[in-house]
Amino acid sequence: MDPNTAVMWILLGIFVLTALISLGSLVGLISLQDYYKKNLFRTVIGEVVVVVLGFGGKAFALAIRDQQTNFRELLTSQVKGWQWQYAEKSWRSTFVFKADKNGKLTMTGQTEQGPEGQKQLLIEYCSTEPFTVPDKPMSFSFKAKRKWTKEAGAKLQGQETDVIITFQVATALSGASVNPPAETWGMVMTPGIQ
């Protein structure tokens, strides 16, 4: 038996024994002074809390691991793409990921500003080459181009910049777009809506 399994069984035995003694004293099968009864009940409650938190943490870790395993599928699953809004601006971006016949991904995207029906296209994005998502990544990056449209203003119109876009696993799909050497825009993405 490996050490982790042995420790788990020992802790389980202690928990069961403590619970049986506490319950036995509650119904009168075991005679204990009130001081010991109170401490045993506190111990059982503490053990239950630790077990619940432990199982909750394990379930959360498994959910994150499953999300990591299916990162590629997660990106391509949203037909309408992934959207995010920049906290410091009234902009909304949408990225769409598609898989080619070799299993590599490509990305196209755009950033718009303004209310529904009056949106202006400010920026267009596209990956510079097909990229792969590694198995079970905590994060991954790919290269893209960012091009400003005429709606962004005469000063920015037509400017094209190489950017590095990084995604990382969290409780939401989040990431950042980096414009070397200095500018970084963080984002948290949600599935695209109609």
Q: What is the mean pLDDT of each run of 10 residues along the chain (194 residues)?
A: 82 85 85 85 83 73 57 74 70 87 89 81 92 78 90 81 80 60 58 50
Both 95 and 27 in a single domain? no
> In this predicted structure, what is the pLDDT of residue 89?
65
Both 123 and 186 in a single domain? yes
Contact 122, 151 (CB under 8 A): yes
Both 80 and 103 in a single domain? yes
> In this predicted structure, what is the pLDDT of residue 8?
80
111 φ/ψ angles, rounded to the nearest 5 degrees = -120, 130
> In this predicted structure, what is the pLDDT of residue 88?
58
| pTM for the full predicted model | 0.52
> In this predicted structure, what is the pLDDT of residue 57?
72
Q: Which residue among 54, 69, 84 closes a domain? A: 69
Spatial distance between the Cα atoms of 126 and 129, rounded to a whole number of angstroms: 9
Both 99 and 147 in a single domain? yes
Tokens of 154: 């005469």
Q: Which residue among 37, 53, 69 closes a domain? A: 69
Q: Exposed, middle or buried by CB within 10 Å (0-12, 13-18, 19+), for 122?
A: buried
Both 170 and 80 in a single domain? yes
Both 185 and 113 in a single domain? yes
Both 62 and 87 in a single domain? no
The residue type at 8:
M
Q: Which residue among 38, 53, 69 closes a domain? A: 69
Structural domain of residue 14, as residue ranges? 3-69
Residue whose C-alpha is closest to residue 125's, from 155, 91, 154, 100: 91
Both 108 and 25 in a single domain? no
Both 35 and 96 in a single domain? no
Both 50 and 82 in a single domain? no
Both 25 and 91 in a single domain? no
CATH number of the CATH domain containing 139: 2.40.128.20
Contact 78, 193 (CB under 8 A): no
Both 48 and 98 in a single domain? no
Overall domain count for the chain: 2
